[in-house]
Amino acid sequence: MTALLLIKNIGMLATARGCAARAGAEQGDISLTQGCWITAENGIITKIGQGEPPALEGAQVIDAKNRLVTAGLVDAHTHLVFGGWREHELALKLHGVPYLDILAQGGGILSTVHSTRAATEEELCEKTAKLLNEMLSLGTTTCEAKSGYGLDLENECKQLRVVQKLQNTQPVELVPTFMAAHAVPPEYQENREGYIRLIIDEMIPYVSEHKLAKYCDIFCETGVFSAKESKKILLAAKEHGLIPKIHADEIDPIGGSVLAGEIGAVSAEHLIVCPPEGIASMAKGGTIACLLPATSFYLGATFAPAREMVTANVPVAVASDFNPGSTPNLSLQLAMNIACLRYRLTPEEVLTAATLNAAAAIGCADKVGTVEVGKQADLLIWDAPNLNFIFYRYGSNLIDTVIKKGQIVKRR
Ligand code: NIG
Ligand code: FE
C-alpha cells in the first residue's frame, strides 16, 4: 500500500540544496520559502509547492501551523556506544587537570575502555537505544557512530555490532566508523608498535570483510597517535575499502589536518587549533571540516577557526561529538547554537553544516540533508516561526515533530 503524506501550512521551509557538501559563499546560500507544503510517497519527497496544497486522497495530513520546517539533523560525529559514564572527571577538570593528563594517567578514554569491555552486547544495545531515542526527540534523524572503546578485535566488533543491530530496531539511521586507533590499550602500553600491527593486520581486514564499518577514524594527537602512525593506519584502512577520517588538531597541531588533505580524508574532526597550512591542505584535498563546538565549550578550549575555513572554501560541518569524556552532550541543537554564537557562523551556514555538509561527511548526501524532491522525507517541524528563532532561543528543545522516511516518529 502506498503511504502518502502531506505537510501543509509551513510558515518557513529552510533548506540547503543538492547532494554534495557546500563551501565558501555557497555554505550559507540556502533556500527560505514562505507559505508552502510538502508531499511524500513511501518515505520519499514527491512535491514541494506554495499556495493551496493538493487534495491527496488517503494521505496523512500534518498541519505545520505556520512554523519552521527543515531537514532532519545529521550528526556526523559521535562516540555513541560505550559502557559507564565519567562524571568523576568533572571534579578533575574543575581543578584544572588537562584532558590529556587524565588519559596519560590511565583515566579518560581508557576508563571508558574498561567499562565498555565489561559490558555485554545486550547491555550496550539497551543503553544506546535510550540515547538514540533522546537524540531523535532533539531532531537527529541520521547519526554516525564510532567504535574506539573496545581497543581489541572482540570488543571493537561488539561496539560495531550494537550499531548494526540498532540500525533495524529504532528510527535513527546509523553510519558506523571503526576507531580502534582511539588510544593505545593498557596491554600494549609498552608495545605501541604491536598495537598498530594488530589494527593493520587483523582488525582492519576483519572489520572490512564483515562490513562492520564504512569509515576508519584515528585520534591524531600528542601522546596518542602521531601523524606518521595515523597515515600508516589510514592508508591500510583505505586499501581495505574503509574511508579515512581524522581527529585532528584538537589539542595540539601535530599535522593531522595537513595529513587529512594529503590522503583525501572525507573529513577532519575538531580542528580547534588548525593551522593555516591545515586549512590549505583540506581545501586542496576536498576534505570536510567537521567542527565540534560543544567540545570546545565543555573543555574550556578555544574555538576552531570556522570563518577562515569558510573563506578558504573548506566545507564546514557541525556535529555533537557526543562521548562520555570530552562532551557528554548529545544535543546537536546545542552544538548548532554554540557554532552560531562562538564561530560567528550565520544561521544559514550552520543549518547547512548540520544537515547537507554533515550528510556529505558520512556519505549519505544523496538521500538526506536537504528538503528536495527525490530525497528521503526526513523532516522536522520546529516550535519556531523562522530559522533565526532557533539560534536566538537557545537552551530549550525546539523540536515539535520528527518525521523519518515519511513516518511521524516523535510528536510533542
Ligand atoms: O572526540 N578526542 C578523542 N575522542 C573523543 C573523546 C573521547 C573520550 O574522552 O572518551 C573526542 O573528543
Ligand atoms: Fe570525537
Pocket test for ligand 1, best of 109, 252, 322 (most atoms within 8 A of CB): 109
Kind of pairing between the strands at 140-146 and 73-75: parallel
Q: Is the predicted pLDDT of residue 104 greater than 90, yes or no?
A: no
Task: Calculate how far, in angstroms, residue 353's C-alpha sits from the geometric centre of ligand 1.
Answer: 21
Q: What is the mean pLDDT of residues 44-57?
A: 96
* Ligand 1 binding residues, C-beta < 6 A: 79, 108-109, 112, 219, 247, 250, 295, 321, 323-326
**For the chain, what is the mean pLDDT?**
97
Q: How far apart are CA 200 and CA 187, in angstroms?
A: 17
Average pLDDT over residues 174-202: 97
Percent of the chain with pLDDT over 90: 97
Q: Which bin fits 33, alpha (ψ -120 to 50), beta or left (φ > 0)?
A: beta
Residue 300 has pLDDT above 90, yes or no: yes
Atom of ligand 1 nearest to the CA of 82: 10
Instruction: Starting from the CA of residue 252, give the closest ligand.
Output: 1
The residue count for the chain: 412
Q: What is the percent of the chain with per-residue pLDDT over 70, rounded to a whole number?
A: 100
Statement: residue 105 has pLDDT above 90: no
pLDDT tens digit sequence for 218-244: 999 999 999 999 999 999 999 999 999
Statement: residue 14 has pLDDT above 90: yes
**How much is the pLDDT for 264?**
97
Q: Give the model's pLDDT for residue 85.
A: 98
pLDDT at 106 over 90: no
pLDDT tens for each residue of 267-282: 999 999 999 999 999 9
Asked whether the predicted pLDDT for residue 103 surpasses 90, the reply is no
CA distances from 176 to 68, 162, 199 (A): 31, 10, 17
Taking the model in full, what pTM does it have?
0.98
Region 381-396 average pLDDT: 97
How large is the average pLDDT for residues 254-269? 98
Q: How far is CA 19 from the centre of its chain?
A: 17
Residue 207 CA, chain-centre distance (Å), reads: 21
10/275 Cα distance (integer angstroms): 43
pLDDT tops 90 at residue 380: yes
- The closest of 295, 384, 302, 279 to 334, measured between CA atoms, is 295
Ligand 1 atom at minimal distance to the Cα of residue 149: 10
User: 295 CA to middle of ligand 1, Å?
Assistant: 9
